[in-house]
A and B are shown apart, each in its own frame.
Chain A
């Protein structure tokens, strides 16, 4: 209902400063990266002519394609598990009493104020061979020798879900909170049991929140590098790590730029799919 008002607003002169901001800090930056990706590397951190596509040709090697697939798979599972864990969480948070809701929201938000690196170090301790998880499993007797949890795909995956879950919970929460519950009562009244009412009414009506959450968890998961650096093994090479390595270790600016452009393109495709499915930018604002 507010859609016409919104399109109107972007045409208002007041939107101009935002447009200027976007052009200066996003548009120009993007053009610089794209231009850079076509150059050839010089000495450390320099680049220049000739302008070719050879950086993109390099990406087509098995090494990078394997990394790309690994990144996409990890991002996919991250988004999936964030949805499976985050939806019930957000649902019950929205249904909780206002008092309880404030507390749950605090529990969700407060970790945000702590440095992400410090929180990841927390996971390192939890996952370590002599850490609490192994200690507990050994004590119960489920395992005889400590499990190797740290520096595996598993630890990266868990850390990623942990880092991303708020971005699923918040849009789903705001979708559930906006629900008109009389529609669910109407469904019950018309013969739907609670499960059917949830599947046919609540779930479709909160779908915009889920879609927004999927995009908001999927996209950053492809690019995060410090998480896999700290929790992952030597064979966990995600796309973010590739960019990071080319930039800071190989000091190959044009190639790092080309890798970034691929990441950007992926992001663009995800957003296109999101729009196609009826997703709206507003659903990502909570």
Chain B
């Protein structure tokens, strides 16, 4: 993506409501054709950021540039940006056709051209034949598709989507995710997508901006965010992870030697760590391997098996380390031997699977 031209730039964006700061300094470059997701818990400022880009909210400070043009103070109707609202915000007094045609009508598009474009959009969202239906006669998924068609018909440079699938049930959500991704790739429109669903973010995005307390915690590819989280918050917000207390014993050129519950473990990542520092070691549950006997591995610990749950394809196990910390592991049940609670088990992982982070969980 970064070789594509920058479409949208946010610089030093801030927004304060009364005394509360919703957005506390955001810098972002969005590349043309990109699918960028703003991910974060509710109240992290993602919707406010989106509304500032749409022009529905004026920032307290900072700037918004679209295609190199400063649009910070531009009215929403003058921006080549369209929004799919969280509750769809369809016009209840207009039928599907008029809803989709609305933006074109505002642009004084000739009637014939409107008819053609609306038909094209209805085809894209698979709602041909629904022109005369009123929004109240549609299902949630159909309303969703009308909302998307209504925005896409204007061929915006940038489409903003505020939790567009939030109100749909899980199955519909999954199929709409694929449909949205397909449309985005087909039309080549840049998407900025809001969600608080980390799985949705991981499967759909080119890049994810993880937000918290009005700031970006990490801006990265889904893989980068999952594999190399930079903070404890990022590690625990995405996927299931163990955050184990560790002390840096020695810092070498490209690895750190850790003391974890009495075990000496090497870990990659080093330049920012000072010897003696207390850190957290993030270990993804599914990257841990268990065995009943010692394994010849660089990174391993052992402890008492205190919990074990069979869950079909996977087994979830909990190991208590000598210092009392618990480690959760998820492993395939294929060819396993029935584990014995209370027995000593050995747990090992690839050096790359361990990520050191600073503890930022209590911040704010």
Chain A positions near chain B (C-beta within 8 angstroms): 1, 180, 182-183, 185-193, 196, 200-201, 204-205, 207
* A and B contact pairs by CB, cutoff 8 A, 13 listed: A180-B89, A182-B89, A185-B76, A185-B89, A186-B90, A189-B83, A190-B102, A191-B107, A192-B102, A192-B106, A193-B77, A205-B93, A207-B93
A190 — which chain B residues lie within 8 A by C-beta? 77, 82, 102-103, 106, 150-151, 154
Interface presence of B92 (CB below 8 A): yes
Q: Give the Cβ gap from B285 to chain A, nearest Cβ, in Å.
A: 40
Q: Is the CB of A205 within 8 A of B154?
A: no
With A1-B136, A185-B56 as known contacts, state yes or no: A191 contacts B89, CB within 8 Å: no
A204 — which chain B residues lie within 8 A by C-beta? 93
B76 — which chain A residues lie within 8 A by C-beta? 185, 188-189
Which of these, A1, A180, A193, A201, contacts B75 with CB under 8 Å? A193
A201 — which chain B residues lie within 8 A by C-beta? 91
Which of these, B54, B91, B93, contacts A189 with CB under 8 Å? B54
For B147, give the chain A residue with the smallest CB separation: A186
With A183-B89, A201-B91, A204-B93 as known contacts, state yes or no: A189 contacts B56, CB within 8 Å: yes
Compute how far the CA of A182 lies from the CA of B51 in the bound complex, rounded to whole angstroms. 12
Residues of B within 8 Å of A, CB-based: how many?
A: 25
The 8 A CB mask of B73-85 against A (1 = contact, 0 = none) is: 0011100011101
Q: Give the Cβ gap from B139 to chain A, nearest Cβ, in Å.
A: 14
Majority secondary structure, A binding face: helix
Which of these, A183, A192, A207, contacts B90 with CB under 8 Å? A183
Compute how far the CA of A208 lies from the CA of B340 in the bound complex, rounded to whole angstroms. 70
Compute how far the CA of A186 lies from the CA of B75 in the bound complex, rounded to whole angstroms. 13
With A1-B136, A185-B85, A186-B85 as known contacts, state yes or no: A191 contacts B106, CB within 8 Å: yes
Chain B positions near chain A (C-beta within 8 angstroms): 54-56, 75-77, 81-83, 85-87, 89-93, 102-103, 106-107, 136, 150-151, 154
Q: Give the Cβ gap from B79 to chain A, nearest Cβ, in Å.
A: 8
Q: Give the Cβ gap from B288 to chain A, nearest Cβ, in Å.
A: 46
Q: Is the CB of A196 within 8 A of B106?
A: yes
Q: Give the Cβ gap from B66 to chain A, nearest Cβ, in Å.
A: 14
- Given contacts A189-B77, A190-B154, list 16 more A-B pairs with CB under 8 A: A180-B92, A182-B87, A183-B90, A185-B76, A185-B85, A186-B83, A187-B91, A189-B55, A189-B76, A189-B83, A189-B151, A190-B102, A191-B106, A193-B77, A200-B102, A204-B93
Which of these, B75, B87, B93, B151, contacts A188 with CB under 8 Å? B75
B103 — which chain A residues lie within 8 A by C-beta? 190-191
Compute how far the CA of A191 lies from the CA of B89 in the bound complex, rounded to whole angstroms. 15
Q: Give the Cβ gap from B191 to chain A, nearest Cβ, in Å.
A: 15
A185 — which chain B residues lie within 8 A by C-beta? 56, 76, 83, 85, 89
Which of these, A1, A183, A191, A205, contacts B77 with CB under 8 Å? A191
Compute how far the CA of A180 lies from the CA of B55 in the bound complex, rounded to whole angstroms. 18
For A208, give the chain B residue with the smallest CB separation: B93
Compute how far the CA of A189 lies from the CA of B81 in the bound complex, rounded to whole angstroms. 8
Q: Is the CB of B107 within 8 A of A186?
A: no
Q: Give the Cβ gap from A102 to chain B, nearest Cβ, in Å.
A: 20
Q: Give the Cβ gap from B294 to chain A, nearest Cβ, in Å.
A: 61
Compute how far the CA of A187 lies from the CA of B56 in the bound complex, rounded to whole angstroms. 11
Q: Give the Cβ gap from A176 to chain B, nearest Cβ, in Å.
A: 15
Q: Give the Cβ gap from B327 to chain A, nearest Cβ, in Å.
A: 46
B55 — which chain A residues lie within 8 A by C-beta? 188-189
Q: Give the Cβ gap from A6 to chain B, nearest Cβ, in Å.
A: 15
A182 — which chain B residues lie within 8 A by C-beta? 85-87, 89
Compute how far the CA of A185 lies from the CA of B136 in the bound complex, rounded to whole angstroms. 19
Q: Give the Cβ gap from A147 to chain B, nearest Cβ, in Å.
A: 45
Q: Is the CB of A183 within 8 A of B92?
A: yes
B107 — which chain A residues lie within 8 A by C-beta? 191
For A201, give the chain B residue with the smallest CB separation: B91
Compute how far the CA of A182 lies from the CA of B56 in the bound complex, rounded to whole angstroms. 10
For B93, give the chain A residue with the smallest CB separation: A204
Q: Give the Cβ gap from B8 to chain A, nearest Cβ, in Å.
A: 16
Which of these, A180, A189, A193, A196, contacts B82 with CB under 8 Å? A189
With A182-B87, A182-B89, A183-B91 as known contacts, state yes or no: A188 contacts B102, CB within 8 Å: no
With A189-B82, A190-B150, A193-B75 as known contacts, state yes or no: A205 contacts B56, CB within 8 Å: no
